[in-house]
Chain A
Amino acid sequence: MDEGSGRRARFEAEAVPLMRAVFNLAFRLTGNVEDAKDVSQDAYVRAFRAFDSFVPGTNCKAWLFTILYSVFVNRYHKARREPQVVAVDDLDARFASVCVSNPSQTAWSDPEIEAALAALPDEYRAAVLLVDLEELTYEEAAAALGCPIGTVRSRLSRGRTQLYVALHERARQSGYLKATGDQ
């Protein structure tokens, strides 16, 4: 096997199986299937070209996400319509009002969670997806997002806060949460 096909075989073994995770992240970042396909394909081609720079034994998923996120930011981030950003002061007050020290275990449906996630600013959503869904460490997420670890921590904090507020308020609106037992 020459070096070229050996490299392709290694890429197929390591990186290609992660396609679903990569596409999922692309979809959650771009918000639609067509853009997600474009971003994923672009990321995979770049990853394949750069595969010699991937250190075997390190987190291939995190490496692919780094490439994906940079493709997303360069091509789609500016063009994308920004969802409404909740003002920080308002968010903290709303968070305080929905936080309870012993909440019941709430099960939200996937569509509810997806909607709440989609409403986050891109940067918060990216941090939450990388750490909470894909279980990257703060360090891996920082590398993927191209920002300091402190920034990952604060985006995660704001993202989770906003997510919780959105989920709770949505659920309350739909009458999902009973009036008693959760205040």
Chain B
Amino acid sequence: MSAGDHHLGDDLQDALDGRLSPERQASVEEHLAACDQCRAEIEAWRQAKRAVRGMTRVALPAELDGQLRAALDRVHDEPARAIPRRWLSWAAAATLLVAIAAGWFTFRPRDPADAAFARFAQYADSGLALDRVTSQPPVLEQYFADGRVGFPTRVFDFAMMNYTLAGGSVSELAGAPSALFVYRDAGNRLVLCAMYLGHADAVRPLAEVRQRPDGVTFYVVVREGRTAVFWQEGEIACVLVSDAGREATVQLAFAKAVKI
């Protein structure tokens, strides 16, 4: 018989690692008492385990402690240096409101769908830091409300759909001031929401148009496995982007959009 024939299968290793019920452990020990082969194997594994357990951990290089703390300081300081927040003084927001009210869209550098997908990619692919990390929507709403964004926002609670808020940032989308917030689920899938001063129907040419029974119109754009759903709430355009699939993303938007 070779070492590959395990009489006890997984139980032999589970016994070594204390994973068996007392009854099963007793039964394994009974087998071990009578079986040289299994006893030899478990003893070899026990010696290997003990050898590794007894290893000394390498010493921390002297400079690493300082380097790590400096790196954490840079993360810690990031919110205070976020450039978008300096843009979003009331004066800037008011100027943009006037410009948009006057229909001056041409200064906008990018298409909102492009911008929304690009923002999603930044978070999903690069792990971009959030200005305000919190799992509590009210905390993030307060953060946005403290004069930072220039328009009223609300932060959705997706807990019922098993998405947890990760946090948010004050930013811009397609040249407009924007509140961005990001959710994750247990599988680390991402949902990004943005609210910005703008017109959701700007994406109509690219979009599938869906209507909620109460008449709210949604514009659905799908690109490379990611779905963006736009809709309008008063002066504010809202967009949800996710990689959870077209219908799932549409349902998220349907669940949270408010008819104004």
Contact = CB atoms under 8 A, between A and B. Distances in A.
Given A24-B57, A45-B72, A101-B36, A92 B64 contact: no
A53 interface: yes
Nearest to B42: A99
Given A8-B76, A92-B2, A132 B167 contact: no
B55 interface: yes
B51 A108 contact: yes
A16 B10 CA distance: 36
B224 interface: no
B61 A24 contact: no
Contacts of B60: 19-20, 23
Interface string B209-225: 00000000000000000
Interface residues on A, range: 35 or more
Contacts of A52: 133-135, 166-167
B13 A110 contact: no
Interface residues of B, number: 51
What is the predominant secondary structure among interface residues of chain A facing chain B? helix
Contacts of A21: 57
A142 interface: no
16 contacts: A16-B68, A19-B68, A23-B61, A41-B67, A41-B68, A52-B133, A53-B164, A92-B2, A93-B3, A99-B41, A113-B51, A113-B52, A128-B52, A132-B52, A135-B53, A164-B48
A49 interface: yes
Contacts, number: 143
B100 to A, nearest CB: 33
Interface string A113-141: 11001000000000011011101001000
A93 B2 contact: yes
A73 B66 CA distance: 25
B91 interface: no
Contacts of B129: 49
Interface string A76-102: 000000000000000011011011111
B129 to A, nearest CB: 6
Contact of A103 (B43, B65, B75, B164): B43
B3 A96 contact: yes
Contact of B64 (A3, A23, A153): A23
